[in-house]
């Protein structure tokens, strides 16, 4: 069997590839594709890396083989980037999703298709507790693009063109590297940079509530999503992955507990209305129970997420 990861050059794509190579899923080829050449995460003869532009007509069809059994569609541009570049956001976040689904339909109907969505599909006036069936009311172009992608995956699944699984990802913290163009980039930088002894800016109020997951738990849940049976999932395939609800202040309290008070001196609060207008509309209380019943994992404490990041860098 061939497995494809789009967005294979990104942090999650690389981390997912490493996990799959160590996981007892039987496959012959793991194809990493991205608009820049993906790196090889581990030396393994099953890895193939390709630099392709999936938005080019006909390109997705060239990737799918008779033995393609699973696609993880992670390729996207992030929230603030999609908000600033309207045309590019639609091209990458929606058009490519449609073209991939069409390629599955034409080349090999029924491929298992795991789509990375986001809690950004929610926004505005929300109930106190959001669940899988809460109406999607996004307040950003990125959220709207992801919501439309969800609907496409569900419809192609209904028609049996793919076997879809839509994962609404919590905000992932703590990511390694440098800040990116996600509106939620600060969620990692307010922990990562102080741990490196560097100054950073928090653009939101410390009372802001967030819905988080660690990188390891997120990757584990991607792989689990590929294994869950169609019967367990039912007809509607959009799933809110389990998350941990915390405020920014609680995150910083955890940082102090793990790394000491001096780390907090490196953080400055400078409100950014553009970021607040996006992140402030996202839910921070979501019903975890349906996903937990399906066997998805959850982080228990934010201190553990910080420790996970520290261990990953050692």
Catalytic residues: 142
CA 286, 287, 289, 291 torsion: positive or negative? Answer: negative
Contact 4, 71 (CB under 8 A): yes
Rounded Cα distance, 168 and 178, in Å: 24
Half-sphere exposure of 161 (CA within 13 A, CB side): 16
**Alpha-carbon distances of 277 from 64, 113, 115, 183, 191, rounded to whole Å:** 39, 32, 25, 9, 22
User: Any residues with CB less than 8 A from the CB of 293 and at least 6 apart, and which?
Assistant: none
Token pair recorded at residue 140: 């950003």
Rounded Cα distance, 116 and 167, in Å: 5
Contact 309, 192 (CB under 8 A): yes
């Amino acid at each position: 069997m061939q497995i494809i990861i789009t967005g294979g050059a990104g942090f999650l794509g690389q981390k997912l590839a490493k996990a799959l190579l160590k996981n007892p899923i039987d496959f012959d080829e793991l194809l990493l594709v991205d608009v820049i050449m993906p790196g090889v995460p581990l030396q393994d003869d099953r890895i193939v890396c390709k630099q392709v532009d999936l938005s080019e007509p006909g390109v997705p069809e060239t990737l799918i083989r008779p033995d393609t059994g699973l696609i993880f569609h992670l390729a996207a541009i992030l929230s603030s980037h999609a908000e600033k570049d309207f045309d590019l956001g639609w091209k990458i976040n929606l058009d490519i999703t449609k073209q991939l689904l069409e390629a599955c339909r034409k080349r090999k109907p029924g491929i298992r298709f795991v789509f990375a969505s986001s809690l950004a599909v929610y926004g505005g006036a929300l109930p106190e507790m959001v669940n899988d069936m809460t109406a999607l009311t996004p307040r950003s172009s990125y959220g709207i693009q992801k919501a439309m992608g969800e609907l496409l995956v569900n419809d192609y699944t209904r028609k049996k063109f793919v076997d879809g699984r839509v994962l609404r990802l919590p905000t992932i913290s703590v990511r390694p590297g440098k800040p990116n163009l996600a509106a939620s980039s600060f969620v990692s930088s307010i922990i990562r940079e102080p741990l490196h002894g560097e100054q950073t800016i928090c653009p939101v109020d410390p009372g802001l509530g967030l819905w988080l997951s660690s990188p390891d738990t997120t990757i584990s849940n991607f792989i689990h999503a590929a294994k869950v049976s169609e019967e367990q999932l039912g007809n509607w395939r959009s799933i809110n992955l389990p998350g941990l609800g915390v405020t920014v202040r609680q995150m910083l309290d955890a940082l102090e507990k793990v790394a000491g008070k001096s780390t907090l001196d490196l953080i400055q609060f400078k409100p950014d209305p553009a970021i607040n207008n996006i992140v402030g509309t996202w839910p921070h209380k979501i019903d975890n129970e349906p996903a937990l019943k399906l066997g998805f994992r959850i982080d228990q404490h934010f201190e553990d997420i910080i420790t996970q990041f520290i261990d990953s860098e050692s």
